[in-house]
Amino acid sequence: MAELVDAVPARALAVYAHPDDAEISCGGTLATWAGAGSEVHVLVCTLGDKGSTDPDVDGGDLASRRREESEAAAAVLGVAATHRLGVPDGDLVADNETCGRIVEVVRRVRPDVVVCPDPTALLFGDRYWNHRDHRAAGTATLDAVAPAAANPHYFPGAGGDPHQVRDVYLSGTLDPNVWIDVSDAIERKIDALFCHRSQLSDTSEYFRGFLRERAEDAGRAAGVRYAEGFRRVALA
């Protein structure tokens, strides 16, 4: 059975592809940790410039709007700082450059825990194929923390002294082994997600109820009212 984890890291870094990914994937966890005194940072890898199916939307305008939305969401969650790589949507790749840029942020922030997408999760049921940017963000982050950020021979001088991340929490996983109780933070998670108005056609009470139900499903597995599940990888 998966473990219910109540330990709060002193400092955490969430690395995600798009401006709304952290809120969707682990917003309750980030709000819970921030509320308990953790210094929470978020790294957004892409601009969010292709987050629309409207052919008349200007990508630059959309990126600016989504930056504002992510800043508003971060304030709701209690995030200490948001960092950005500024890669165009769809161009994020888990190459040496991306890995090095994430290493630089890890060494500056010096988190105990890093949260990112599980890059091994490809198909969810028979209706959703995991976005390539999500997979790239997860792979590049894992490469950055195991072992690059902690090894002085990788990217020497990038961001400062080497830093060993203790644990990685992989969200959107098909194999959760830990749960975080987000019962006291579920409304903040939803409020933060609702800051991303450019991405949501429905911010009604009905949709809020749907999001609560998803967290209730995880909560039943964890034995609490609302939860978020992760695959934890212990690095130290």
Q: What percent of the chain has pLDDT over 90?
A: 89
pLDDT for the residue numbered 204:
81
pLDDT given at position 101: 98
Q: What is the 3-state secondary structure (H, E, C) of the chain?
A: CCEEECCCCCEEEEEECCCCHHHHHHHHHHHHHHHCCCEEEEEEEECCCCCCCCCCCCHHHHHHHHHHHHHHHHHHHCCCEEEEEEECCCCCCCCHHHHHHHHHHHHHHCCCEEEEECCCCCEECCCEECCHHHHHHHHHHHHHHCCHHHCCCCCCCCCCCCCCCCEEEEECCCCCCEEEECCCCHHHHHHHHCCCCCCCCCCCHHHHHHHHHHHHHHHHHHCCCCEEEEEEEECC
Higher pLDDT, 211 or 148: 148
What does the pLDDT read at residue 1? 58
Q: What pLDDT digit, counting tens, does each position of 10-23 carry?
A: 999 999 999 999 99
For the stretch 82-136, pLDDT in tens is 999 999 999 999 999 999 999 999 999 999 999 999 999 988 888 888 999 999 9
Q: Provide the token pair at 92.
A: 């994020």
pLDDT > 70: percent of the chain: 100
Taking only the tens place, the pLDDT of each residue in 189-224 is 999 999 999 999 878 888 889 899 999 999 999 999
